[in-house]
Amino acid sequence: MENKNNFISAIKAAFPHTVPVMTGYLFLGISYGIYMKVSGFSFLYPMLMAITIFGGSLEFLAVSLLLSTFAPLQTFLIALVIQARHLFYGLAMLEKYKNTGLKKLYLIFSLTDETFSINCSTPVPEGTEKGKFYLAVSLLDQSYWVTGATLGGILGSFIPFNTEGLDFVMTAMFVVIFIEQWLKEKKHYTALIGVFCSVFCLVIFGAESFIIPTMVCIFGMLSFFRRPIEKAGGFE
């Protein structure tokens, strides 16, 4: 009972931090469900894929993969490329997710862009156990996504008001967290490296294939400039 109450209070502590993601996930999830529905799939598909894959961009792409010829190996490779950025999230969360027991399995399974954003940038509220807080954020986020995807799949293209541009809420969230990260650093080296590598690779490699070159580029520059970056400090 004690345990259960603890978790409910963790949910209460986590909820306000997940409101932006709720907006974004419900909207994007509904769009994704609609997209699957109009592509000829029952609502069970977006619902089950939201539960098992839980990765927005790949789920959108999976629609076209499901509609083309069966090619499992190619699907696997495409999925790896799209999801490669999670490798960085894992590295950044190694310390924070330490000593969270069995919860850790779900925390890692559900490490999306948005869940990473919250758990990486939000200090655990006082009086809440670390593992429970992270678990609450992750569970809430996935419940938004599954709800959105399922609703979209059921409703089809019936939406009563003009939502064009609502997806900007995710961009806005990343901009805000980026500014917070920027302000933490005294010399902004790592933030600048991120901006430079992303823009440079986007221009060179194009929108469809710039993620992996950017990751390599960021990794290379962070390794190369390790000493001045550590000396400048302030990014913890």
Partner 1 sequence: MTLSEEIITIGMCVLATLLTRFLPFLLFSEKKKTPKFIEYLGKALPAAIFALLVVYCLKNVDITAGSHGIPEFIAVLVVAVLHLWKRKILLSMTGGTFCYMFLVQFIF
Residues 62-101 that bind partner 1 (CB under 8 A): 62, 65-66, 69-70, 72-73, 75-77, 79-80, 83-95, 97-99
Radius of gyration of the chain (CA): 19
Q: Judged by CB under 8 A, does residue 52 bind partner 1?
A: yes
Please pick, from the candidates 121, 130, 143, 187, the single residue that binds partner 1 as defined by CB under 8 A.
Answer: 121
Q: Which stretch binds partner 1 (CB under 8 A): 2-10, 44-52, 134-142, 152-160?
A: 44-52
DSSP line for 108-157: HHT--HHHHHHHHHSPPPTTS-HHHHHHHHHHHHHHHHHHHHHHHHHHTT
For residues 147 and 158, give the distance between their C-alpha atoms in angstroms, rounded to a whole number: 16
Residues 125-154 that bind partner 1 (CB under 8 A): none
Q: Per-residue x/- mask for partner 1, residues 4 to 43, rule CB under 8 A?
A: ---------------xx--x--------------------
Tell the smallest beta-carbon distance from residue 31 to partner 1 (Å): 15
Q: Judged by CB under 8 A, does residue 44 bind partner 1?
A: no
Give every CB contact of residue 26 below 8 A, 6+ residues apart in sequence.
144, 147, 148, 151
For residues 197 and 179, give the distance between their C-alpha atoms in angstroms, rounded to a whole number: 17
Give every CB contact of residue 124 below 8 A, 6+ residues apart in sequence.
130, 133, 134
Q: Judged by CB under 8 A, does residue 109 bind partner 1?
A: yes
- Which CB sits closer to partner 1, 5 or 162? 162
- Which CB sits closer to partner 1, 10 or 197? 197
Q: Judged by CB under 8 A, does residue 172 bind partner 1?
A: yes
Q: Judged by CB under 8 A, does residue 117 bind partner 1?
A: yes
Torsion angle, alpha carbons of 36, 38, 44, 48, to 10: 0
For residues 234 and 119, give the distance between their C-alpha atoms in angstroms, rounded to a whole number: 19
Residues 176-215 that bind partner 1 (CB under 8 A): 176-179, 181-182, 184-185, 188, 190-191, 193-195, 197-199, 202, 207, 210-211, 214-215
For residues 178 and 173, give the distance between their C-alpha atoms in angstroms, rounded to a whole number: 8
Tell the smallest beta-carbon distance from residue 4 to partner 1 (Å): 26
**CA 130, chain centre distance (Å):** 19
Q: Judged by CB under 8 A, does residue 224 bind partner 1?
A: no
